[in-house]
Amino acid sequence: MPFTPIHIGPGILLKSLLQSSFSLMVFGWTQIVMDIQPLIVLVSGEGHLHGFTHTYIGAILIAIFAALSGKYLSEIGLKLLRISENKKNISIAWWIVFLSAFIGSFSHVLLDSIMHPDVEPFFPFTFDNPLLGLISVTMLHKVCLYSGLVGAAMYYGINWRLKGKVK
């Protein structure tokens, strides 16, 4: 399902665990970029719904593109939202950008491999998808939703606790 917000749940959990060593904005941008190809197929009615972009080789290429474009988009977004303490010079380290993009693209392929029968994650080495049906789609959605809820609670709890210790 293109642009499904359910992919962001595991990203929120990772953000809570890694804090400033992970960019949720780059992760989210990567989710969008991953589903541009399926969106084009849905709109045009032609092509393989979860094609090359939903393979691990495709995920590598998407991660590189998403990192290179997402760094600057995220920095602009953070500046506009005034999220950073340093309002003038917001910069996300390249290693964080690439880590977040690669986790985003690889997790996207993993999650879609579990629920979509047309995903061929290990193409061109094999057309088989050993991950299909690993867990039920309902359980997969619950895992994504609950990981996001737990991650949000942890993120705000950790930051609340850290702010309390600083005073």
CA-based angle 145:148:153, to the nearest 5? 130
Peptide bond into 124 cis (omega under 30): yes
State pLDDT tens for residues 72-126: 999 998 888 876 565 567 899 999 999 999 999 999 999 999 999 999 999 999 9
> How crowded is residue 142: how many other Cβ atoms within 10 Å of its Cβ?
14
> Using 50, 70 and 90 to split pLDDT, how confident is the model at 1?
very low
Please name the residue that has the structure tokens 């290179």.
Answer: 68
E-only strand ranges, 72-167:
none
Mean pLDDT of 159-166: 74
Kindly report the pTM of this predicted structure: 0.90
* pLDDT reading at 14 higher than 50: yes
Please, which residues have CB within 8 angstroms of residue 118's CB and are 6 or more apart in sequence? 48, 49, 50
State pLDDT tens for residues 51-80: 999 999 999 999 999 999 999 999 998 888
